[in-house]
Amino acid sequence: MTGDIHGIHHTGILTRDLDGLERTFLSLGFTLSPRSRHLLGGRPGQAPVPGCTANRCALFGGSYIELLGIVDESAPDPWHTRAMADEYEGFRLLNLDTDDAEAAHRRLDDAGLRTSGVLGLERDIDTEEGPRTVRARAVHLDPSTTPEGYVGVAQHLTRRHVHQPRWLGHPNGARGLGAVWIVADDAECDAVTNRYSRILRTAPGREGPLTVLDASAARLRIVRASDAEEVLPGEPAPASSYLAAMTVVVEDVDDARKVVEGGGTVTRPTGAGFFVSARHAYGAGLFFTAG
């Protein structure tokens, strides 16, 4: 895909119980990076300050799953994470990947999509070369215009410090994120589809009840709430529109399923692999497929 957005940068699962979320994803066979506290900027050009959140990540070399926890309720909250958690915890964040946050901001603004402007993020981590600071820039879409979740575009400034080789091997064979699944309220579905079509600059297609947006490594699957039971049977619906699930690409589906079930999690078969309910993964449905 040409342009300023190249794929899925990361997905994010939000909780006030980061310890429990970590244990769950370790039991699912993911290797996690060490816990890291965030430094966040609240406005364009503002220096990052210590915030209320920390994370651990399941890293795949390109994309990653962020396990995001509120770890200090008294600390500054420039990205309004506490308000997000007050609405509901779970799969709340989708960031698309760019190598030019400024260009992405200008294009989104020209397309009539309200954004935060370009914000700074830092967090200190350990590397095999010693302590280093991860730096990134992000553009958040106005959350009042994205009822399905908190959506943005992110740019690594120090990618090598994030995707360290020692964290890329996973017992479940995970290799990357294949797609994100969005349930949209029937009345909002056309607007949601149109928005992502403009963001990704690609025309929507159809696969049964799903609206499909494929733009290189940025793959979205959108389903009307009235059809959600067909593709996500029995899954919880935390809001009228929401980020429902993500596809994890693994080396071998059978091996991955043995690891996941061996960790104590119930799975169900799908046509291309297997599925872990959001009920067992802190609000994020997980499709496991080979690739």
Residues of the chain with pLDDT under 50: 1-2
Tell if the pTM clears 0.95, that is, is over it: no
Model pLDDT, residue 268: 97
For residue range 89-103, list pLDDT tens digits in order. Answer: 999 999 999 999 999
Do 7-167 and 174-290 show the same overall fold?
A: yes
- In Å, how far from its chain's centre is CA 1? 20
Specify whether the CB–CB gap between 102 and 155 falls below 8 A.
Answer: no
At residue 284, the pLDDT reads 98
CATH architecture of structural domain 174-290: Roll (3.10)
Residue extents of the structural domains in the chain: 7-167, 174-290
Q: Pairing relation of β-strands 150-156 and 130-141?
A: antiparallel
Superfamily for the 7-167 domain: 2,3-Dihydroxybiphenyl 1,2-Dioxygenase, domain 1 (3.10.180.10)
pLDDT at 6: 86
Annotate 247-256 with b (16+ C-beta within 10 A) or e (fewer): bbbbeebeeb
From CA 114, how far away is CA 275, in angstroms rounded?
Answer: 35
Of 243, 289, 283, 290, residue with least CA distance to 25: 283
Q: Which residue has the tokens 């095999």?
A: 128
What one-character-per-residue DSSP string does 160-214 give? HHHS-GGG---TT-EEEEEEEEEEE-TTTHHHHHHHHHHHHT---EEETTEEEEE
State residue 19's pLDDT score.
97
What is the pLDDT, as a whole number, of residue 13?
A: 98
Task: Answer whether 59's CB lies under 8 Å from 49's CB.
Answer: no
Q: Tell me the Cα Rg of the chain.
A: 18
